[in-house]
Amino acid sequence: MDKERYIGIMSGTSLDGVDVVLCEIGTDGCDLIASLAYPIPLELRADILTIIEGKHTLEQVGQLDHRLGVLFTQAVGALLIREHIDAGSIKAIGLHGQTLWHAPDGAYPFSLQLGDPNILTARTGIPVVADFRRKDIALGGQGAPFAPAFHEFIFKNINARLCVVNIGGMANITVLPNPVNDKLIGYDTGCGNVLLDLWTAEHLGEPYDKEGEWARSGNVEYGLLDAMMSEPYFSLPYPKSTGREKFNAEWLQSCLRGKTHAPEDVQRTLLELTALSITNEVLQFHTDIALLCGGGAKNGFLVERIKALMPNVEVAIAQHADEIEAMTFAWLAYKRLHEEAVNLKEVTGASENAVLGGIYV
């Protein structure tokens, strides 16, 4: 069968931008044709964070849904114009939406993504597939992470014990099926860049610590690291997923317990926390190769620490490291249009593999 064209849109917990990709997808693979990182205006970013912090009215939440729908439309438009692509050649757009709250456990589990898909389809004329996570949650799953199914699809021919490590705002790993373990495993290991970004914004006024150079200038505070690593999330069995609801400024303050540390030492300790909470998990699965992706793979010092903590694992940066998450949602749109269930039940804990997402036309 010929390959079909899909767009994928992802904007993660980091709120660093909207990733848009154009892919050609068929049964035997997914080729990346073009990609674009579209900026989130500072005012919109600030409003999203305010709403996540719970300082909001319902009217503001509704308006945010509209504003994000417009932003995603602009991002798609920018890619189509830059690449001289006719909207009619695109089968569908897979839209993740902006997560506002992810609470997959408890009596009334839910995961809330905003960005009205109706606006996106009305203004582009392209069908949109959105609302991927809630079906999985309705089936008792975590509704996350979803990238493992896509990793399985694109890396199925690698003959090694392979682990994919995505370091976004949160970090998640995928353990590909291998001769020792025939199941697909994937879960959030905990915080990725989110606390590093938060502390950098507070002390340097920058969105992130470029290459981890500021962290490199500090020393690990081992008492603080122990306090952070005692977070119960790290010892929970998988399936599990997390977000800004847990790893946020209050969480960091509770670990600091009012003690003063040099800001660069806290940054260094946070970087060690990210590296250690990832490598502890990767090492459990007797991994041969770890492929890093997400923005954290560009943090040279973080990558250096991950390599040092797993000297016997071959650590490399994945191809399309910045685009894999958005490619996942292009592929999920393909799966939805073909009415194919997604192999996620072992990852998320859902009772069955389901056809995911709603179609907006």
| Nearest distance, CB of residue 23 and Mg ion, angstroms | 18
Q: Name the segment binding ligand ADP (CB under 6 A); options: 183-191, 202-210, 223-231, 312-320.
A: 202-210
Q: Which amino acid is at 153?
A: F
Residue nearest to ligand ADP (CB): 295
Residue 296 interaction partner, one of Mg ion, ligand ADP, none, beta carbon < 5-8 Å per kind: ligand ADP
In angstroms, the CA 131 to CA 357 distance is 5
Q: Which two tokens stand for residue 305?
A: 């620490």
Q: Does 168 bind ligand ADP (CB under 6 A)?
A: yes
Return the residue of 143, 186, 294, 349 that touches ligand ADP, per CB under 6 A. Answer: 294
Applying CB under 6 A, what is the total number of residues that bind ligand ADP? 20
Token readout for 17 is 């931008």
Each residue 10-49 as x (binds Mg ion by CB under 5 A) or -, in order, gives --x-x-x---------------------------------
CB 2 within 8 Å of CB 26: yes
- Among positions 115, 143, 243, 296, the unique one binding ligand ADP when judged by CB under 6 A: 296
Cβ closest to ligand ADP, residue 287 vs residue 299? 299
Return the structure tokens found at 299. 């943090």
- How far is the C-alpha of 361 from the C-alpha of 358, rounded, in Å? 10
Q: Would you count residue 193 as binding ligand ADP (CB under 6 A)? A: yes
Amino acid at position 291, single letter:
L
The pattern of x and - marking residues 240 through 269 that bind ligand ADP according to CB under 6 A reads ------------------------------
Q: Where are the alpha helices (DSSP H) in the chain?
A: 42-52, 58-82, 117-124, 133-138, 147-154, 194-204, 213-216, 222-229, 232-235, 249-256, 263-284, 300-309, 324-337, 345-348
CB of 209 to Mg ion, least distance (A): 16
